[in-house]
Amino acid sequence: MTSLQQHDIASGSLDRMWAIGARRPEGRGLILLVAVVLGALLFEPGVFTAYPATLGRIALIGLVALGLTAVILMGELDLSVASTLAVSGVVMAMIPNLALGIIAALIVGLIVGAINAFFVVVVGINSFIATLGMLFALRGLALVLSDEQPVRLADVDDGVAFGAPLIGPLTPRVLIFIVLLVGLHVFLTRMRAGREFYAVGGNRAAAKDAGIPVTRRIFTGFMISGGVAALAGAINTLERTAATPTAGSTVLLASIAAAIIGGISLNGGRGSIIGTVIGTLALGLLQIGLALAAVQQDIQQIFIGAVLFIAVVTDPASLRAVAANLRSSMGRGGGATAEPMPSSPQPVAHQ
């Protein structure tokens, strides 16, 4: 027998579904994706007939984005992924033995992640800045190590072979991407440590008091993003048969954009791997579609920018904010929407 009861917000299962749907952050990303897919089907079906290439591009952007998701969910940001990718690639190419090289690359990534985490949690620097510093430092390091020149793999043919389709049309890169996204999704939804990422991002103080090892979680997060970036670097180096110290120049912003379009909140606690994947798909398909349609480079860039801009200003919070602004400037307006409406504790019919 209960004495205090929750007065349900959404009465009726349909409203309830709507309510839940409205809460999902991936919504807008999905709509964009549908729009892009429709557009592609109408004007550039090649996007789908050429799906191995499309998948390749998606995996290229997406890999790093997956790693970033783990960090952003905790309300942090990792700008250093771009040059982590470059450094780990260079290190790998510098080591004659391929296997050792790959291992070294991954270790570099994990170390970078740990260093980032150290500055963020132990020293207490805003992660945007800490990783900005690492972005500069590692880029420089990559140039120093490589003597400012591309470093070729010892065994080029391995690399060429690596780039070839492995299962059906899927190249190792795509397979790794799929494995990673499934793995991270399971980690963030089903596993305790991953679930607690949301707590760390949603309310860090609360997470600490609840006995969650916040520091360890943040280290894990940054090491995931660092490691994944390094993995991307290794894959790129293998596929290209050489490492370029200036690599990753276009990856960073693209992967952040993908995550954002996927509905992740830079404040943390809100977002998902699925969302990031949706964002990546939308972005990748758009890029490939425009390329196949032979749209002029500059126009392509304008497109991507416009899509990103729309994605960020159509965030429900943004719309609410601007609606309020308009209302106050025009006087009374319609549909104020500072939901959810708080429920008053009242006895209702027994459930």
Partner 1 sequence: MTNIATRQGGRPAGAKVSTHRGGQIASVIQWSAERGIFVVTGVLIVAAAVFVQGFASVVNITDVFHRAAPVGIIAVGMTFVVISGNYLDLSVVPQVATSAVILIAVSNSYGLLPAIVVATLVSLVYGLINGVAVGYFKANAVIVTLATTYIGLGVLRWVSGGNIFFGPRGGTIDTLGQLKFGPVPLSALVLVFMAVLLGFVLSRTGFGFALRAYGSNKDATRLAGVATSRVVLGAFLITSLSAMIAGFVLAAFSNTAVSTVSTGMDFGALAAIIIGGNSVFGGRGSILRTVLGVVFVSVLTNILVLTDIGYGWQQVAIGVLIVLAVSIDALARRVGK
Partner 2 sequence: MTLRKIHLAVASSCLAALMILSGCSATNGGSGDSKHKVWALLPQGTDQPYGTTYLPPLEETAGKMGIDLTVTNSQYDSDTQASDCEVAVAARPELIILWPAVASTVRPCLVRAKEAGIPVTITNSDVLPEDKDLTSAYSGPNTYGQGAASATIMCGLAEGKPVKILVVNGLTGNVTAINRRQGFVDTIAKDCPNVTIAAEQPGDWSKGTSQTVTSEMLTSVGAKNVQGIFAADDTMVAGAIDALKAQGIDPKPLFITSIGNTKLGNPLVASGELDGTVFQSSVWDGSHAAELADQILSGKPYEKDVFMPSVIVDKNNVADADVAPEW
Partner 3 sequence: MQDRSKTETAPIVIEADAVVKQFGGVRAVKGVSVSVREGEIYGLIGENGAGKSTLMRMLAGLYTPDAGEVRVGGAPLQPGAKSALAAGIAIVHQELNLIPEMTVAENIMLGSFPTRAGFTESKKLRAVAKSTLEEIGVAIDLDEPVSRLSVALRQFVEIARAIARKPRVLIMDEPTASLTPAETDYLLEMLQRLAGRGMSVIYISHRLPEIFRICTRVSVLRDGSLVDTMDIEATSPDDLVNKMVGRELKLDLQVRREAKPGAVVLSARGITAPGVRGIDLDVRAGQIVGLGGLVGAGRTELVRAILGVDPKSAGMVTITVDGKSKRINSYRDAVANGAAYVPEERRTEGLALTMTVADNIALPNRRRLSTSGVLKVGSIGSFAKELAARVELRPADVTRAVGEYSGGNQQKVVIAKWLGREPRFVVLDEPTRGVDVAAKAEIHRLLRSLVDAGAAVLVVSSDLPELLDLSDVIYVVRDGEIVGTLTAAEADEKAVMTLAAGGKMVTSA
Asked if residue 31 binds partner 2 (CB under 8 A), the reply is: yes
| 141 interface partner picked from partner 3, partner 1, partner 2, none, CB below 5 to 8 A per type | partner 1
- Contacts with partner 1 by CB under 8 A lie at 119, 123-126, 128-130, 132-144, 148, 245, 253, 256-257, 260, 266, 296-302, 304-306, 308-309, 312-313, 315, 317-319, 321-322, 325
Q: Is the distance from CB of 73 to CB of 221 less than 8 angstroms?
A: yes
Shortest gap between Cβ of 231 and partner 2 (angstroms)? 14
Asked if residue 60 binds partner 2 (CB under 8 A), the reply is: yes
Q: Which of 185, 204, 217, 240 binds partner 2 (CB under 8 A)?
A: 240
Residues 6+ apart with CB under 8 A from 67: 78, 81, 224, 225, 226, 227, 228, 229, 232
With H, G, I as helix, E, B as strand and everything else as coil, classify residue 256.
helix
Shortest gap between Cβ of 228 and partner 2 (angstroms)? 15
| 128 interface partner picked from partner 3, partner 2, partner 1, none, CB below 5 to 8 A per type | partner 1
Q: Is the distance from CB of 210 to CB of 195 less than 8 angstroms?
A: no
Shortest gap between Cβ of 287 and partner 1 (angstroms)? 12
* Kind and range of the H or E run holding 243: strand 242-243
| 295 interface partner picked from partner 1, partner 3, partner 2, none, CB below 5 to 8 A per type | partner 2
Shortest gap between Cβ of 343 and partner 3 (angstroms)? 5
Residue-wise DSSP of 277-343: HHHHHHHHHHHHHHHHTT--HHHHHHHHHHHHHHHHHTSHHHHHHHHHHHHHHHSS-S----PSPPP
Q: Which of 42, 294, 338, 349 binds partner 3 (CB under 8 A)?
A: 338
| Gap between the Cα atoms of 219 and 199, Å rounded | 15
Closest CA to 138 of 279, 248, 44, 287: 248
| Gap between the Cα atoms of 184 and 186, Å rounded | 5
Shortest gap between Cβ of 107 and partner 2 (angstroms)? 22
Q: Can you give the binding site for partner 3, defined by CB under 8 A?
A: 1-6, 8-9, 23, 190-193, 195-196, 198-199, 202-203, 205-213, 269-270, 323-324, 327-347, 351
